[in-house]
Amino acid sequence: MKKNMLIAQSGGPTAVINSGVVGAFTAAMDLKFDNIYAAYQGIEGVLKKEIIDLKAADRKTVEGLKYTPSAGLGSCRYKMSKDITHPDFEAVFKVFEELEIGYFFYNGGNDSMDTCDKINEYAVKHGIDIKVIGIPKTVDNDLVGTDHCPGFGSAAKYLNTTLQVSAYDCYSYSTPTIIMMETMGRHAGWLAASTACAKYNGEQLVDRIYLPESVFDMDAFLADTEKLFKEKKMVFLTVSEGIKDKNGDFLLSGVSVNDNFGHAQLGGVSEFLKSRIAENITPRTKIINPNIIQRCATHVASATDMEETFNTGYMAVKSAYEGKSGYMVAYERVQNNPYVMNYKLTPLSQVANAEKTIPQEWIIDGKQMTNDIIEYTEPLMKGEVMLRHGNDGLPEFSRLPRKFITL
C-alpha cells in the first residue's frame, strides 16, 4: 500500500488551526509519504472529490499557512450520519480507495471528532487498512480527554488584550459606564472565564463573569449590576453567548436558529442585556462583541498555542505512521509554573459528542472565578507571533490555490 495521506478541516476555525495542518504536512514530508492530499472544505470536500495535492503545491505557500488565520483548507459543517451504513460512508471510502489513502486526519472539534470516530469504526468493521487520527481544535476549549484545546490560548489572549485596551479607553473619561464583553461558548464558558486574566493598573479588571455552567437570573443580574454601578466608576462584565435560565433554555432561545449540526446559532445576548440595563439602571452601556474575530485573530496569537498546535499535527501523522488508529492527539499538563505539558493519544470514542465544562469549584456564586482559571489560562497565552507584513503595512497571508486533482 502506498503511503498516501488525506487531511481535512471542519467546524469553526481558529487563529492557529492551520499550524496543525503544517505540522502534519511537515511530518509527512519527513517520513517521505508518497502523496499528501487535502480535501477542500472537510468531509464534504471528500464527498465532492474536491482534492488538493499539497505535495505539488508551492511549499512556501503551504508552510505559510502556519501564520494564516482561519481554515486554510476550507471548513464545513456537514453532518455525517451516526449510522455507518449510511451511503455517505461508502462514498467516502470509495474516494479513499481511488486515492490509495492509507492515513486520514481530521482537524476539528467535537462533531469533527465524531466523524473521525465513525470513519475509523467503518474501516475496522470492513477490514480496511487505513489509520485514522483526529487533530483537535476549538476555541471553546470543550473537548474531553485533553487539558486544553488548540486555538483556546490565542482566543483568550485576544479577548484579554481587547479588554485591557478598552479599559484604557474607558478610564480616560469621567462618565460612569458599564462595559460588557460577549464571548463565544455555547455550553462551556471557558472563553468568558478566561477574561478573569485581564488587568488594569495591576488589578483584576472584570467584575462579573456569566457562564453557561451557572443559572442566569435576570433579577439577580440587574440588582448586582446596579449595586456595582453605584459603587464603582466603571463596571466591566463578561457574558458568554450561551448563558441559560433556570429551565436550561438559552436566554435568546426564542430567536436563535440551528446550524447543520443542530446547534443553536447564538450571539447578541449582550445587546439584549444592554437593553435591560438601559431600562433599569443606565443608558450608558458599551458593548464589546468580538464575534468571529476572537477565533481568527492570528495577529494577536499565542506563540505557545501555535507551536503546540503544530506539534499536534506532527504527532498525529507520526502516530498513524507507527500504526496507531482511532485516537485524537491530546495535551496532558504536568505543571503550571513553569508550564510543562506532554502530548498523548486519547481514544476518539471518548471524545466524540462529549463536552468538557468548567469545574464548578472554579466558579464563585455563578458570577466570579477562583484563581484556578487564571493559573490555567495564563501559560497558554504566552509568546508573540511575528507575522510577515507587506509594503502597505498590512499582514500577508498564504492562500492555497483551489486546484483540484482529477479523479
Give the CATH number of the domain where residue 73 resides.
3.40.50.450
Residue 209 grid cell: 463573569
Contact 183, 190 (CB under 8 A): no
Report if residue 370 sits inside a domain.
no
Q: Are residues 193 and 177 in the same domain?
A: yes
Number of domains in the chain: 2
| Distance (Å, whole) CA 178 – CA 232 | 10
Q: Is 207 a catalytic residue?
A: no
Q: Are residues 238 and 288 in the same domain?
A: yes
Contact 122, 83 (CB under 8 A): no
Give the pLDDT score at 243: 96
Q: Are residues 205 and 161 in the same domain?
A: yes
Report if residue 196 sits inside a domain.
yes
Q: Are residues 44 and 99 in the same domain?
A: yes
Last residue of a domain, one of 297, 323, 342: 297
Q: Are residues 237 and 321 in the same domain?
A: no
> What residues have CB less than 8 Å from 177, skipping those under 6 apart?
170, 234, 235, 284, 285, 286
Report if residue 375 sits inside a domain.
no
Contact 77, 107 (CB under 8 A): no
Whole-angstrom CA distances from 84 to 1, 79, 189 are 24, 13, 32
Positions of the chain with pLDDT lower than 50, given as ranges: 256-257, 259
Count other C-beta atoms under 10 Å from residue 390's C-beta.
8
Q: Are residues 283 and 327 in the same domain?
A: no
Q: Give me the sign of the Cα torsion angle 76, 78, 84, 87.
A: negative
Report if residue 188 sits inside a domain.
yes
Give the pLDDT score at 257: 47
Q: Which amino acid is at 380?
A: L
Give the pLDDT score at 21: 98
Report if residue 221 sits inside a domain.
yes
Contact 303, 383 (CB under 8 A): yes
Q: Which amino acid is at 36?
A: I
| Distance (Å, whole) CA 37 – CA 35 | 6
Whole-angstrom CA distances from 172 to 59, 71, 252, 274, 388 are 48, 38, 34, 22, 33
Q: Are residues 307 and 349 in the same domain?
A: yes
Q: Are residues 293 and 169 in the same domain?
A: yes
> What residues have CB less than 8 Å from 85, skipping those under 6 apart?
none
Q: What residues make up the domain containing 218? A: 152-297
Q: Are residues 250 and 126 in the same domain?
A: no
Last residue of a domain, one of 297, 317, 343: 297
Report if residue 394 sits inside a domain.
no
Q: Are residues 322 and 285 in the same domain?
A: no
Report if residue 368 sits inside a domain.
no
Last residue of a domain, one of 252, 272, 297: 297
The single residue of 114, 117, 140, 305 carrying the catalytic annotation is 140
Report if residue 383 sits inside a domain.
no
Q: Are residues 156 and 290 in the same domain?
A: yes
Give the pLDDT score at 52: 98
Q: Are residues 15 and 65 in the same domain?
A: yes
